[in-house]
Structure 1
């Protein structure tokens, strides 16, 4: 379990791990029963992952497809619930296969309890991806 309990600090720690391409350590920030949701996921993509193992299985190949370099424009908004934050951010880097630029804006609603992520709703733009497209980082795990 992580010593970081403030949701904003835990989230920033997670971004550092993603930039380090350490998906396993990022998933270690999750509660065993944590839920990851993608409300805008296109047809054929998962809308909900339940449990730490499912999150790891889904994201384990991410660094093989997206080489993240930075999260500019990061804004973390605290809410009236001390365990919940709303995050606006942009992820930039390169698509590994083609070397093309990767630039995606996200809004996330993240809930933390006992120092671990228990719920993460990721509102990303599904228009950026197409089936089998360059940003389809999960194709090797589907």
Structure 2
């Protein structure tokens, strides 16, 4: 994550780097947060305590990710599959993340599928699906298990 203005988000750098790479030349901006606007809708279709189902705008999304990086540190993101549709205006991204729940030291491994709609070379809408059971198991496990 070369941009130091996002240093507080370093624990999620593997995710941000994977997503930015997946979107490639379809968007403008060096970092994930650079391709988010004040009008971007970030929608998650699962329940995670403390994480809203719909987040609107860059500032609100950055605040949500502050909570994420306070809870989980990622060591890698991989298994990337990118499907470009609708002449690149819609991108479906499949990927995995691997990290550690900071409070317990429990390993966190999850799979995601994200549907991204791009307008004016920025993310207009993000719809996220994940393995909710994997998240639940990691976030509710006690250390040593």
Q: Same fold (TM over 0.5)?
A: yes
Name the SS of the counterpart of 1:58 in structure 2.
Answer: helix
Structure 2 CA distance for aligned equivalents of residues 85 and 11 of structure 1: 16
- Output the CA distance in 2 between the equivalents of 1:67 and 1:44: 17
Q: Is the 8 A contact 2:43 2:126 kept in 1?
A: yes
Task: Return the alpha-carbon distance in structure 2 between the equivalents of residues 129 and 12 of structure 1.
Answer: 19
Alignment of 1:76-91 (within 5 A): 76-91=82-97
Mapped contact 1:95–1:134 kept (Cα < 8 A): no
Taking the aligned partners of 2:49 and 2:71, their CA distance within structure 1 comes to 20
Match of 2:99 in 1: 93
1:27–1:52 CA contact under 8 A, matched in 2: yes
Q: Once the 2 structures are TM-superposed, how far is the Cα of residue 43 of structure 1 from its aligned partner? A: 7.4
Q: Which has the higher contact order (CA 8 A, sep 6+)?
A: 1
74-83 vs 35-44, which moves further: 35-44
Q: Is the 8 A contact 2:51 2:64 kept in 1?
A: no
Shift of 1:12: 3.9
- The equivalent of 2:20 in structure 1 is 14
* Alignment partner of 1:74 is 2:74: no
Distance 1:29 1:80, change over 3 A: closer
Distance 1:92 1:108 in 2: 17
Q: What is the SS of the residue equivalent to 2:60?
A: helix
Mark the CA change 1:45 to 1:67 in structure 2 (over 3 Å): closer, same or farther.
closer
Structure 1: runs of 5 or more not aligned: 1-9, 17-24, 136-142
Please give the root-mean-square deviation of Cα atoms over the aligned residues, in Å. Answer: 2.7
Structure 2: gaps spanning 5 or more residues:
1-15, 23-30
Q: Could you say what secondary structure the match of 1:99 adopts?
A: coil
Aligned length: 116
Instruction: Answer whether contact 2:84 2:92 (CA < 8 A) is retained.
Output: yes
